[in-house]
Amino acid sequence: MPKSLEEIAREEGLLPPPLGEPNIDSTLPNTLRFKWDQPTPLRIRAEQIWKDRQGIHCWLTFHTHDNGTIYGPTRVNLQSASAITSLRRELRDRETQDWASYIQKITEATYLHLQNSGETLTAATYVPKPEPPWLVWPLVKAEVVNTCFADGGAGKSTLFTAVCLSGAAGISVVPGLRVTKAFPTLYVDFEASPDDVIGAAVMLASAAGIPDGWQEKFMYRRYGGSLSEHSESIQRIVSEYSVELAIIDSLVGSAGSDPNDAETARAFFSSANSLPGCAVVGLTHISKESKGKSQSPLGSVMYRNLPRIVWNMKRDDDSNTVGLYPNKINTLGEKPVAFALTLDVTKTGMRYQAADIGAVATLAADTGPTAQIVTVLTGTTMTVPEIAAELAPMKDTVIRSTLNRGRGKRFIQHAGAGAWGLMEKAGDTGETLSHPPLRGADVSTPDRNALRNVSLDVSVEEKEVTKQQGYDDPI
What does the alpha-carbon distance between residue 355 and residue 277 come to, in Å, rounded to a whole number?
34
What does the alpha-carbon distance between residue 168 and residue 183 come to, in Å, rounded to a whole number?
5
- Report DSSP state, residue 289: G
Angle, to 10 degrees, between the axis of helix 194-208 and the axis of helix 156-169?
60
* Domain 367-468 class, CATH top level: mainly alpha
What letter represents residue 30's amino acid?
A: N
User: Can you point out the beta strands (E) in 37-119?
Assistant: 42-52, 55-64, 68-77
CB atoms within 10 A of CB 459: 12
Q: Are 205 and 173 in contact (CB under 8 A)?
A: yes
**Is pLDDT above 50 for 444?**
no
- Starting at the edge strand found earlier in the chain, the sheet holding 23-25 runs 23-25, 31-36, 42-52, 55-64, 68-77
pLDDT single digits (tens) 371-407: 778 878 877 899 999 888 888 778 889 899 989 888 8
Query: Kind and range of the H or E element at 377?
Result: helix 368-377
Mean pLDDT of 452-473: 32
Q: Which of the four pLDDT bands, split at 50, 70 and 90, describes residue 157?
A: very high
Handedness of CA 68, 103, 269, 181 (dihedral sign): negative
> Judging by DSSP bridges, how do beta strands 42-52 and 31-36 pair with one another?
antiparallel
Say what the pTM is: 0.66
Judged by DSSP in three states, 404 sits in helix
Q: Which of the four pLDDT bands, split at 50, 70 and 90, describes residue 467?
A: very low
In which residue ranges of the chain is CATH 1.10.10 found?
367-468
Cβ-based neighbours of 131, under 8 Å, separated by 6 or more = 331, 332, 333
pLDDT single digits (tens) 195-232: 999 999 999 999 999 999 999 999 999 998 888 888 87
The CATH number corresponding to 134-359 among 3.40.50.300, 3.90.650.10, 3.40.50.1100, 3.40.630.30 equals 3.40.50.300
Cβ-based neighbours of 95, under 8 Å, separated by 6 or more = 64, 66, 67, 70
Residue whose C-alpha is closest to residue 151's, from 339, 326, 338, 313: 313
Q: Are 30 and 274 in contact (CB under 8 A)?
A: yes
What does the alpha-carbon distance between residue 63 and residue 7 come to, in Å, rounded to a whole number?
28
In which residue ranges of the chain is CATH 3.40.50.300 found?
134-359
